[in-house]
RNA sequence: GGGCCCAUAGCUCAACGGGUUAGAGCGCCUGGCUUAUAACCGGGAGGUUCCGGGUUCGGGUCCCGGUGGGCCUACCA
């Protein structure tokens, strides 16, 4: 008669939750299901305590999603989901930035020369299609990440309602007296005849530019002034200020010479071969290099430093001096500028306000003329001075004119160095034509940073002042929140304040106009009679109304009523004859107005927003422009909290100066990836779409959640492999919990009530702590702390609590301790599903699907509320478990050498077997311990510890996973002894325990369980 | 060139206002189980906290200076 197989009487883990996630295949199915069920709407319609206004910064509708988007969008979705699950209402309206030059150029590239034949309206229609194409593509890609949002009703900056609100925001600036028209240098591509934005610049590393040192002669007044200081200055020895430039073509536009007020300057006395002398003014630290560059260091020409009362003097002392332009009949005064450096050039900077931003700023400060005699094609115009004109360079491209100008400088004897000298440096080129750019002053619309504001909130203060105050108000609020331990507010992380403050402090006036077609027009009307550009707020609001119904295309529609009835020129009163302004608004103005267009007017949202979350580059971009618009329209920042993410880089090994290798983050470059691809490397990890297709969006989400997103994040195959590993480990413990619960509706912890066993109560306490920890982490946007806390919790549960409870979960039959443990396991799996739902929406839904529904259970984990577990914390249980685990470690240490010696013996025997054919293992049977449950351990426990572990005394052997355990309560050096347990193990629970009945092979516990099982399961009549 | 930021185990991260022997998860090595099995359990190795100074009784933590890296910015005029 064969022994009875008791397997059927055990309560073994079972369930259909697969070990393999198969995410790539299954994620789309869940998405589909959620869509059909209207999950997000259901989430929004739940009763909630408060509304959390989370405003999407619009990505640019151009190209597929890259890792920056993945990082950013995933974080946004964590926020939407965790705030929702914490009981708030989060209506996330995804948006897109649809206007602007890159889209226009995509279209131009596709259409080629045909573009020119189209009317502005037709061109705009093409651009709209192009933008919409990318909106659709990105929308699908963002949704594939699992992102929640009102995808059927996004906001687009090209929607008429949005365009109208942008103009209303502009009207607010006009009302506050901040909008003006001015002349200002911009990056200009002569090849494309257009201004370029920062993002459209590329840099050529080895660009060759001419390098010229030029004399600016000083008159008698200069000589006289300097003689006060340097009495030996010879009468008739000309004095010149020496400048250096790489753009000789800007010399016709020279209007001043800039020196640093604190920099030291010297006069060089240079004796020429003919016996005459000249005096050259340069910065002291640069004198040597200027002498070298100009070839003055031959012995007979060696200049001497002029020594006066002091060896040198500071730039300040040059105040009021005026020098002569090298070829035109005009004067160049000395001005002061902080940007003048002592590391390159001569320390005296040729200043052409029409051809450089710094020069321009200096020009504004000193009231210099912004003069730029260059047209759209980059060619000199008739505005050139008479001398330059006489050189025949009118109509010549400025770069082509460079050699002519150098040659003339030499002819005139004002060139210090050799004609034809050049330098190699980094220089901006057009991203499209790759042609070098020039800076050129053009007439543009501006917003004044430093004009006192009229009306509204904070009248009399400037835009810059209020903006800086707002930046600090947020910072203070954030500090206060931190002090109070409240959820994170203000600048997150706090150093965001430094970044945006520095930028706001130093920024120039905001140039809001662009000479393009694809955007929101600046609705100015130019009077044909007097030339006045009319831009009143009434006019702007009139056009806004028109745009609201017809879209911004109306501006390009001859028949649209853009001129209000009864309109007359502000300046001359003319009632007809108006030309529409040809510029559009900077796209940053549009996106900066998004809170105004999307949130402020939506009853579900409001002003200010609770949160903006973008990459830290947006301190310059969206955070910045939104702040300015917020101050103009509402007198305050449009957000309460600004959270920032870093950048995604690539992990690479780099040799350090000391020869050691170090892993370092490098910015990802397309060309590097392309090189790898050509080198046969697998580059799919660099394409998020490919990662999603292979491993699922969940892996990307977990990757984001395990990193410190406030810093830059590294990308590598190894990084993803690790994420996949941690995913599996989380998934497997959840799987085991599900298998323990086995799809049965088990009692809740509350229902178990007083029958809750101490060990289960302890685990429940841990769970309560975990829930609290994760809530706090979510409120601080600290997602990685959630993942870390849950991982550690699950790993600990797997290694101790679950391992220990297996004994009774499998072997008891409907005992109180099974009820008790099942209740806690159920609570664990449910709580953790909810905790992780914001980060792993797919997996947690999978878990939820495998849990039986209780009454009131929602159909989706995403409709669950945050776990509300109550459990008074009993710290004596913590102490008891601590002692138990110490004993467990001691027992394990005692058993380990026996187990591993046995293992070594067995291995040796197996090898020997192959040689000698022996079957028997020689290790004495009495000493064999394969598994802790074979062991019989005797432990000394101090009286103190014995008392501490009293709550768990009843399950001590199980906690130590042992077959049998003898505890000797005695103080002194504790002894631990492990031997093999009883001769025969219980055939059912496999414990080598003393009370095994030799007939049945069952221990007492198991025979009771079997008897009860048999009673409830009448055997079938036969067999 | 300027502003802001980062650097702790192979990887991702901890270490409350300076205070025991710098921890965890994953990986790695190793042994076991075969009732979580492409799983699980035990044991173990692995750190000059980037470098150099300073303050301090005491520095991963604070200060200064480097090195490497990132973002933003800048017509090296």
* pLDDT digit string, tens, across residues A636-664: 999 999 999 999 988 887 776 666 677 88
Q: Is the pLDDT of residue A917 over 50?
A: no
Q: Residue A428's beta-bridge partner residues?
A: A203
pLDDT at A508: 82
The residue-averaged pLDDT of A810-828 equals 94
Return d(Cα A617, Cα A628) in angstroms, integer: 17
* Lowest mean pLDDT segment, chosen from A162-171, A591-600, A897-906: A897-906
Flag residues 880-919 of A with CB < 7 Å from strand B: 889, 892-893, 895-896, 899-900, 902-904, 906-907
Which nucleotide lies at the shortest CA–C1' distance from A798? B40
Spell out the residues 6+ positions from residue A852 whose beta carbon is closer than 8 angstroms to its own: A741, A743, A744, A745
Q: Is the pLDDT of residue A191 over 90?
A: no
Cβ-count burial of A915 within 10 angstroms (0-12 exposed, 13-18 middle, 19+ buried)?
exposed
Return d(Cα A304, Cα A271) in angstroms, integer: 9
pLDDT at A299: 46
Q: Is the pLDDT of residue A150 over 70?
A: yes
Estimate in Å the CA A12 to C1' B46 gap, whole number. Answer: 38
Flag residues 160-199 of A with CB < 7 Å from strand B: 198
DSSP A781: T
pLDDT at A919: 43
pLDDT at A915: 46
pLDDT at A658: 62
Return d(Cα A523, Cα A529) in angstroms, integer: 18
Q: pLDDT tens for residues A740-759?
A: 999 999 999 999 999 999 99
- CB neighbourhood size of A536 (10 A): 17
Q: pLDDT tens for residues A275-289?
A: 777 788 887 777 777
DSSP A251: G
ipTM above 0.85, yes or no: yes
Report yes or no: A346 and A242 within 8 Å, Cβ to Cβ.
yes
- CB neighbourhood size of A307 (10 A): 13
Return d(Cα A627, Cα A619) in angstroms, integer: 10
Estimate in Å the CA A935 to C1' B45 gap, whole number. Answer: 27
Estimate in Å the CA A541 to C1' B34 gap, whole number. Answer: 78
- Chain length of chain A: 1023
Any strand B atom closer than 7 Å to A350 CB: yes
Which nucleotide lies at the shortest CA–C1' distance from A356? B75
Strand order in the sheet with A438-447: A194-195, A179-189, A438-447, A510-511
Return d(Cα A780, Cα A778) in angstroms, integer: 5
- Three-state DSSP string of A817-831: HHHHHHHHHHHHHHH
Decide which of A546 and A262 is more confident. Answer: A546
Any strand B atom closer than 7 Å to A795 CB: yes
Return d(Cα A802, Cα A569) in angstroms, integer: 83
Q: Is the pLDDT of residue A471 over 90?
A: yes
DSSP A356: -
Report yes or no: A778 and A79 within 8 Å, Cβ to Cβ.
no
**Residue that is written with structure tokens 């879209």 in the block:** A551
Nearest to A936 by CA among A878, A885, A996, A883: A996
For helices A160-175 and A622-634, angle between their N-to-C axes, nearest 10 degrees: 60
Estimate in Å the CA A735 to C1' B36 gap, whole number. Answer: 8
Flag residues 732-761 of A with CB < 7 Å from strand B: 732-733, 735-736, 739
Angle at A961 between CA A955 and CA A962, to 5 degrees: 90
Q: Which two tokens stand for residue A960?
A: 């130590």
Return d(Cα A683, Cα A677) in angstroms, integer: 6
Q: Is the pLDDT of residue A1021 over 80?
A: no
**What are the CA-CA distances from residue A109 to residues A103, A105, A127, A131, A737 (Å)?**
10, 6, 12, 14, 58
Flag residues 425-484 of A with CB < 7 Å from strand B: 425-427, 439
- Give the confidence band of A234 by pLDDT, cuts at 50, 70, 90: confident
Spell out the residues 6+ positions from residue A792 whose beta carbon is closer than 8 angstroms to its own: none
Q: What sign results for the dihedral spanned by CA atoms A865, A867, A870, A873?
A: negative
The contacts found for A408-413 with CB under 8 angstroms, 24 or more apart, are A408/A327, A409/A212, A409/A214, A409/A248, A409/A251, A409/A326, A409/A327, A412/A326, A412/A327, A413/A215
Report yes or no: A644 and A492 within 8 Å, Cβ to Cβ.
yes
Nearest to A21 by CA among A724, A862, A830: A724
Return d(Cα A680, Cα A218) in angstroms, integer: 65
A662 phi and psi, to 5 degrees?
-140, 145
Report yes or no: A332 and A256 within 8 Å, Cβ to Cβ.
yes
Flag residues 204-263 of A with CB < 7 Å from strand B: 209, 243-247, 250
Chain B nucleotides reached by a protein CB under 7 Å: 1, 3-6, 10-14, 24-27, 30-44, 50, 67-77
Decide which of A59 and A210 is more confident. Answer: A59
Return d(Cα A1014, Cα A993) in angstroms, integer: 23
Spell out the residues 6+ positions from residue A498 whose beta carbon is closer than 8 angstroms to its own: none
Estimate in Å the CA A355 to C1' B73 gap, whole number. Answer: 19
pLDDT at A653: 76
C1' of nucleotide B2: residue with nearest CA: A339
Decide which of A191 and A15 is more confident. Answer: A15
- Give the confidence band of A846 by pLDDT, cuts at 50, 70, 90: very high
pLDDT at A925: 59
Q: Is the pLDDT of residue A308 over 50?
A: no
pLDDT at A667: 83
Strand order in the sheet with A648-655: A661-667, A648-655, A713-715
Which nucleotide lies at the shortest CA–C1' distance from A657? B67
Return d(Cα A404, Cα A912) in angstroms, integer: 94
- CB neighbourhood size of A265 (10 A): 24
Any strand B atom closer than 7 Å to A651 CB: yes
Return d(Cα A827, Cα A741) in angstroms, integer: 10
Return d(Cα A403, Cα A252) in angstroms, integer: 14
- Give the confidence band of A1 by pLDDT, cuts at 50, 70, 90: very low
Report yes or no: A805 and A797 within 8 Å, Cβ to Cβ.
no
Q: What sign results for the dihedral spanned by CA atoms A960, A964, A969, A973?
A: negative
Helix (H/G/I), strand (E/B), else coil: A996: coil
Return d(Cα A473, Cα A630) in angstroms, integer: 14
Any strand B atom closer than 7 Å to A617 CB: yes
Any strand B atom closer than 7 Å to A800 CB: yes
pLDDT at A615: 93
Q: State the average pLDDT for chain A.
A: 87
pLDDT at A835: 97
**What are the CA-CA distances from residue A39 to residues A30, A34, A839, A915 (Å)?**
11, 5, 17, 66
Q: Which two tokens stand for residue A161?
A: 């309602």
C1' of nucleotide B27: residue with nearest CA: A722
C1' of nucleotide B4: residue with nearest CA: A499
pLDDT at A297: 64
Q: What is the rounded radius of gyration, in angstroms, for the C-alpha atoms of chain A?
A: 39
Any strand B atom closer than 7 Å to A805 CB: no
- Give the confidence band of A985 by pLDDT, cuts at 50, 70, 90: confident
Helix (H/G/I), strand (E/B), else coil: A796: helix
Report yes or no: A140 and A28 within 8 Å, Cβ to Cβ.
no
Report yes or no: A436 and A397 within 8 Å, Cβ to Cβ.
no
Pairing of strands A639-645, A490-492: parallel
pLDDT at A482: 86
Spell out the residues 6+ positions from residue A945 whose beta carbon is closer than 8 angstroms to its own: A883, A886, A887
User: Up-side HSE of residue A810: CA atoms within 13 Å toward CB?
Assistant: 17
Return d(Cα A417, Cα A721) in angstroms, integer: 60
Q: Which two tokens stand for residue A860?
A: 């989706």
Helix (H/G/I), strand (E/B), else coil: A429: strand
């Amino acid at each position: 008669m064969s022994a009875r197989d008791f397997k059927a009487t055990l309560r073994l883990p079972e369930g259909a939750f697969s070990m393999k996630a198969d995410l790539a295949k299954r994620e789309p199915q869940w998405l589909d299901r959620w869509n059909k069920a209207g999950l997000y709407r259901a989430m929004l319609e739940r009763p909630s305590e408060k509304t959390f206004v989370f405003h999407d910064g619009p990505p640019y509708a151009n190209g597929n999603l890259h890792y920056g988007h993945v990082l950013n969008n995933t974080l946004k979705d964590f926020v939407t989901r965790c705030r929702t699950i914490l009981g708030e209402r989060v209506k996330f309206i995804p948006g897109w930035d649809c206007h602007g030059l890159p889209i226009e150029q995509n279209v131009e590239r596709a259409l080629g020369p045909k573009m020119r034949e189209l009317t502005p309206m037709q061109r705009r229609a093409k651009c709209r299609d192009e933008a919409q194409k990318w909106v659709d593509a990105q929308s699908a890609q963002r949704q594939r990440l699992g992102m929640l949002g009102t995808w059927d009703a996004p906001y687009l900056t090209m929607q008429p309602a949005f365009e109208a609100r942008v103009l209303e925001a502009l009207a607010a600036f006009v009302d506050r007296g901040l909008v003006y028209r001015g002349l200002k240098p911009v990056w200009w591509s002569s090849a494309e005849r257009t201004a370029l934005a920062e993002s459209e610049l590329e840099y050529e590393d080895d660009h060759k530019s001419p390098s010229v040192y030029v004399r600016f002669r000083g008159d008698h007044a200069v000589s006289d002034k300097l003689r006060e200081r340097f009495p030996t200055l010879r009468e008739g020895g000309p004095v010149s200020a020496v400048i250096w430039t790489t753009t000789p073509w800007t010399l016709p536009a020279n209007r001043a010479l800039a020196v640093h007020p604190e920099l030291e300057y010297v006069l060089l006395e240079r004796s020429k071969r003919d016996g005459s002398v000249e005096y050259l003014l340069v910065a002291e630290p640069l004198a040597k290099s200027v002498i070298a560059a100009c070839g003055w260091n031959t012995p007979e020409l060696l200049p001497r430093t002029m020594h006066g009362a002091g060896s040198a003097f500071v730039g300040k002392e040059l105040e009021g001096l005026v020098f002569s332009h090298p070829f035109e009949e005009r004067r160049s005064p000395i001005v002061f500028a902080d940007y003048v450096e002592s590391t390159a050039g001569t320390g005296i900077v040729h200043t052409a306000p029409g051809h450089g931003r710094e020069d321009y700023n200096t020009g504004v400060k000193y009231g210099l003329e912004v003069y730029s005699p260059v047209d759209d094609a980059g060619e000199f115009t008739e505005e050139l001075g008479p001398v330059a004109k006489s050189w025949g360079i009118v109509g010549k491209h400025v770069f082509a004119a460079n050699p002519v100008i150098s040659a003339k400088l030499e002819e005139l004897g004002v060139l210090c160095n050799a004609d034809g000298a050049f330098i190699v440096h980094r220089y901006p080129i057009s991203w499209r034509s790759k042609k070098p750019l020039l800076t050129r002053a053009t007439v543009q619309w501006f917003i004044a940073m430093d004009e006192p504001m009229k009306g509204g909130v904070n009248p009399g203060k400037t835009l810059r002042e209020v903006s800086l105050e707002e930046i600090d108000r947020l910072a203070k609020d954030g500090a206060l929140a931190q002090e109070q331990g409240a959820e994170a507010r203000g600048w997150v992380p706090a150093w965001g304040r430094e970044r945006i403050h520095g930028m706001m402090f130093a920024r120039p006036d905001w140039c809001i106009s662009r000479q393009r077609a694809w955007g929101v027009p600046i609705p100015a009307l130019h009077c044909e009679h007097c030339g006045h550009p009319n831009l009143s707020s009434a006019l702007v609001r009139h056009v806004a109304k028109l745009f609201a119904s017809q879209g911004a295309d109306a501006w390009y529609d001859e028949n649209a009523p853009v001129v209000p009835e009864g309109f007359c020129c502000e300046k001359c009163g003319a009632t007809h004859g108006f030309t529409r302004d040809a510029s559009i608004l900077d796209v940053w103005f549009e996106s900066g107005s998004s809170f105004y267009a999307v949130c402020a007017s939506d009853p579900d949202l409001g002003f200010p927003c609770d949160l903006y979350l973008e990459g830290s580059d947006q301190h310059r971009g969206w955070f910045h422009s939104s702040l300015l618009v917020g101050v103009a329209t509402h007198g305050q920042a449009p957000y309460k909290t600004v959270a920032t993410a870093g950048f995604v880089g690539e992990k690479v090994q780099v040799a350090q100066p000391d020869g050691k290798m170090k892993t370092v983050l490098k910015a990802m470059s397309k060309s590097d990836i392309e090189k790898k691809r050509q080198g046969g490397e697998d580059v799919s990890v660099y394409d998020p779409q490919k990662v999603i297709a292979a491993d699922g969006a969940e892996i990307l989400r977990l990757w984001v959640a395990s990193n410190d997103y406030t810093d830059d994040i590294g990308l590598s195959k190894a990084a993803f492999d690790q994420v996949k590993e941690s995913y599996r480990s989380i998934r497997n413990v959840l799987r085991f919990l599900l298998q323990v619960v086995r799809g049965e509706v088990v009692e809740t912890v509350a229902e178990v009530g007083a029958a809750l066993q101490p060990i289960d109560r302890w685990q429940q306490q841990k769970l309560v702590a975990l829930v609290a920890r994760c809530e706090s982490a979510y409120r601080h946007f600290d997602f990685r702390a959630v993942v870390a806390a849950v991982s550690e919790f699950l790993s600990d549960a797997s290694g101790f609590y679950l391992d220990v409870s297996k004994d009774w979960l499998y072997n008891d039959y409907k005992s109180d301790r099974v009820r008790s443990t099942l209740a806690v396991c159920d609570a664990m799996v449910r709580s953790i599903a909810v905790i992780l739902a914001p980060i792993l929406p797919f997996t947690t839904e999978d878990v939820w699907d495998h849990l039986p529904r209780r009454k009131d259970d929602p159909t989706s984990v995403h409709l669950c509320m945050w776990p509300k577990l109550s459990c008074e914390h009993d710290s004596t249980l913590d102490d008891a478990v601590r002692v138990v685990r110490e004993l467990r470690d001691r027992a394990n240490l005692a058993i380990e050498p026996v187990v591993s010696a046995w293992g070594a013996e067995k291995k040796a025997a197996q090898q020997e077997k192959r040689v000698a054919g022996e079957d028997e293992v020689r290790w004495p049977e009495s000493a064999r311990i394969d598994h802790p449950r074979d062991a019989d351990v005797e432990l000394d426990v101090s009286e103190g510890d014995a008392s501490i572990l009293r709550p768990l005394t009843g399950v001590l052997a199980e906690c130590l996973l042992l077959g049998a355990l003898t505890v000797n309560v005695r103080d002194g050096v504790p002894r631990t002894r492990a031997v093999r347990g009883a001769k025969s193990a219980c055939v059912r629970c496999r414990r080598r325990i003393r009370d095994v009945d030799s007939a049945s092979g069952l221990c007492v516990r198991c025979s009771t369980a079997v008897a009860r099982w048999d009673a409830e399961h009448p055997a079938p009549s036969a067999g």
